[in-house]
Amino acid sequence: MVCRHNDELEALVKEAKKVTDKGEVASYIPALAKADKHDLSVAIYYSNNICLSAGDVEKTFTLQSISKVLSLALVLMEHGKDKVFSYVGQEPTGDPFNSIIKLETVNPSKPLNPMINAGALVVTSLIRGKTVKERLDYLLSFIRRLTNNQEITYCREVAQSEYSTSMINRAMCYYMKQYGIFEDDVEAVMDLYTKQCAIEMNSLDLAKIGSVFALNGRQPETGEQIIPKDVARICKTFMVTCGMYNASGEFAIKVGIPAKSGVSGGIMGLSPYDFGIGIFGPALDDKGNSIAGVKLLEIMSEMYRLSIF
Which residues are known to be catalytic?
A: 65, 68, 193, 245, 263
Q: How far apart are CA 256 and CA 135, in angstroms?
A: 34
CB 208 within 8 A of CB 1: no
Q: Is 162 annotated as a binding residue?
A: yes
Q: What is the Cα Rg of the chain in Å?
A: 18
Q: Is 169 annotated as a binding residue?
A: yes
How many residues are listed for the chain in this entry? 309
Say what angle helices 229-242 and 203-214 make with each other, to 10 degrees: 120
CB 88 within 8 A of CB 119: yes
**How many other CB atoms are found less than 10 A from the CB of residue 28?**
11
Q: How far apart are CA 268 and CA 298, in angstroms?
A: 14
Q: Where are the beta strands (DSSP E) in the chain?
A: 4-5, 41-46, 51-54, 61-62, 153-154, 199-201, 259-261, 266-271, 275-280
Helix (H, G, I), strand (E, B) or coil at 163: helix
Q: Is 65 annotated as a binding residue?
A: yes
CA dihedral 272, 278, 282, 285 (to 10 degrees): -10
Q: Is 245 annotated as a binding residue?
A: yes
CB 113 within 8 A of CB 89: yes
Q: Beta strand 153-154 with 199-201: parallel, antiparallel or unpaired?
A: antiparallel
Q: Is 109 annotated as a binding residue?
A: no
| Feature table: binding site | 65, 117, 162, 169, 193, 245, 263
| Feature table: binding site for substrate | 65, 117, 162, 169, 193, 245, 263
